[in-house]
């Protein structure tokens, strides 16, 4: 069995061990692979592992030995699943490995915006506190999370975890979800879209990217929000309209925007969010804690083991 990892660096920059896959056969790991090199590097592979390298119909047709594509993430839109199914190639993903990590990043962003810890750390390194005439100083009005209303778009694994943490902070939790109110914990109230947008102090996106949710945060939805609203996107970049958000931030129509995902990754140097005020951007790392990546590797191992022994799991192209 020959296994080829096309873009292993983002998952494992050196602190994990690909040797856990050696029991399945010969493993070749490439840190990065361009579109032009995919076929050449994969021509003898029985199993391809990919995170963000696209595998389209043409590529699948050029790889007659291929039996399995193991996506190193939850999302699998980079794979032509229909073409894979027609070719008898099994496609698997890694579900629910980063729930706690992503939920944690939501509150890392939120607390950073509200408490401005890094800002004051930087100020004090420049001796502002040392030269201050009073025992303390601050440049903005602080707020408690307790009592504030958080609106969650989507109550899957991550959205539900965010709701649980928000409740522990004493926040009021409202949500847009396909679930019925009777299915939800007592601390979550299901509401309609307009009510959530108009009343939430914090709006956080955890829904899948579909035709209905693309550009969910746009000029129209932003116009409904409080000028003090904080918007957080740790879902998918295309859930948000970058231009509309940058414009709203510059006009102070929302208080802040925090995101870990962009429409284009890496973002273009002229992306308006990079220069927008009160915009906080992390480089798609919410999923990437050591614990989450270890968990991903273990699920990957189980996926390959189950496939080899004829009982595939986490299959997304049945």
Instruction: Kindly state whether residues 93 and 106 are assigned to the same domain.
Output: no
Rounded to whole angstroms, the Cα distance separating 253 from 222 reads 8
* Catalytic entry in 41, 253, 263, 284: 284
Q: What is the mean pLDDT of residues 286-295?
A: 97
236 annotated active-site:
yes
Range of the domain at 47: 2-97+290-308
252 annotated active-site:
no
Q: What is the CATH number of the domain that holds 60?
A: 3.40.50.720
Instruction: Kindly state whether residues 136 and 160 are assigned to the same domain.
Output: yes
- pLDDT tens track for 48-59: 999 999 999 999
Instruction: Kindly state whether residues 8 and 67 are assigned to the same domain.
Output: yes
Q: What is the pLDDT of residue 43?
A: 96
Instruction: Kindly state whether residues 143 and 197 are assigned to the same domain.
Output: yes
Q: What is the pLDDT of residue 123?
A: 96
**Residue 143 carries which DSSP code?**
-
Query: For residue 299, what pLDDT band results from cuts at 50, 70 and 90?
Result: very high
Is-above-0.85 flag for pTM? Answer: yes
**Strand 26-29's sheet: what is its strand order?**
26-29, 2-5, 47-50, 68-71, 90-92
| Residue 122 token pair | 């930087």
Question: Could you tell me which of 73, 21, 11, 18 has the C-alpha nearest to residue 47?
Answer: 21
Q: What is the pLDDT of residue 193?
A: 96
109 annotated active-site:
no
- pLDDT tens track for 186-202: 999 999 999 999 999 99
Instruction: Kindly state whether residues 238 and 303 are assigned to the same domain.
Output: no
Rounded to whole angstroms, the Cα distance separating 164 from 221 reads 25
Q: What is the pLDDT of residue 212?
A: 92
Rounded to whole angstroms, the Cα distance separating 200 from 203 reads 6
* Catalytic entry in 26, 40, 265, 291: 265
Rounded to whole angstroms, the Cα distance separating 273 from 279 reads 7
* Catalytic entry in 109, 157, 161, 236: 236
Query: For residue 276, what pLDDT band results from cuts at 50, 70 and 90?
Result: very high
Q: Is residue 223 part of a domain?
A: yes
Instruction: Kindly state whether residues 76 and 105 are assigned to the same domain.
Output: no
Let me know how many helices (H) and strands (E) the chain has, helices first.
Answer: 10, 12
Number of domains forming the structure of the chain: 2
Instruction: Kindly state whether residues 107 and 70 are assigned to the same domain.
Output: no
């Amino acid at each position: 069995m020959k296994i080829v990892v096309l873009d292993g660096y983002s998952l494992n920059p050196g602190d994990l061990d690909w040797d856990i896959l050696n029991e399945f056969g010969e493993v070749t790991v490439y840190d990065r692979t361009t579109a032009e090199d995919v076929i050449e590097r994969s021509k003898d592979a029985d199993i391809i592992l990919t995170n963000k390298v696209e595998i389209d119909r043409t590529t699948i047709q050029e790889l007659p030995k291929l039996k399995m594509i193991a996506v190193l993430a939850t999302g699998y839109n980079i794979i032509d699943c229909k073409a894979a199914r027609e070719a008898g190639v099994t496609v698997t993903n890694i579900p629910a490995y980063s729930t706690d990590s992503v939920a944690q990043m939501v509150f890392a962003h939120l607390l950073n915006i509200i408490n401005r810890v890094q800002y004051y750390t930087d100020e004090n390194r420049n001796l502002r506190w040392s030269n201050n005439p009073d025992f303390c100083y601050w440049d903005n009005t602080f707020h408690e999370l307790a009592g504030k209303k958080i609106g969650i778009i989507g109550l899957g694994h991550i959205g539900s975890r965010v709701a649980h943490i928000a409740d522990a902070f004493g926040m009021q939790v409202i949500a847009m979800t396909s679930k019925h109110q009777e299915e939800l914990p007592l601390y979550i109230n299901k509401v309609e879209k307009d009510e959530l947008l108009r009343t939430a102090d914090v709006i956080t996106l955890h829904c899948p990217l579909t035709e209905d949710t693309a550009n969910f945060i746009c000029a129209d939805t932003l116009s409904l929000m409080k000028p003090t609203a904080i918007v957080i996107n740790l879902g998918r970049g295309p859930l948000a309209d970058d231009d509309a958000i940058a414009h709203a931030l510059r006009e102070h129509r929302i208080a802040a925007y925090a995101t870990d995902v962009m429409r284009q990754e890496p973002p273009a140097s002229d992306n308006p969010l990079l220069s927008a005020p009160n915009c906080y951007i992390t480089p798609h790392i919410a999923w990437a804690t050591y614990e989450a990546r270890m968990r991903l590797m273990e699920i990957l191992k189980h996926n390959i083991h189950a496939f080899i022994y004829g009982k595939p799991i986490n299959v997304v192209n049945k």
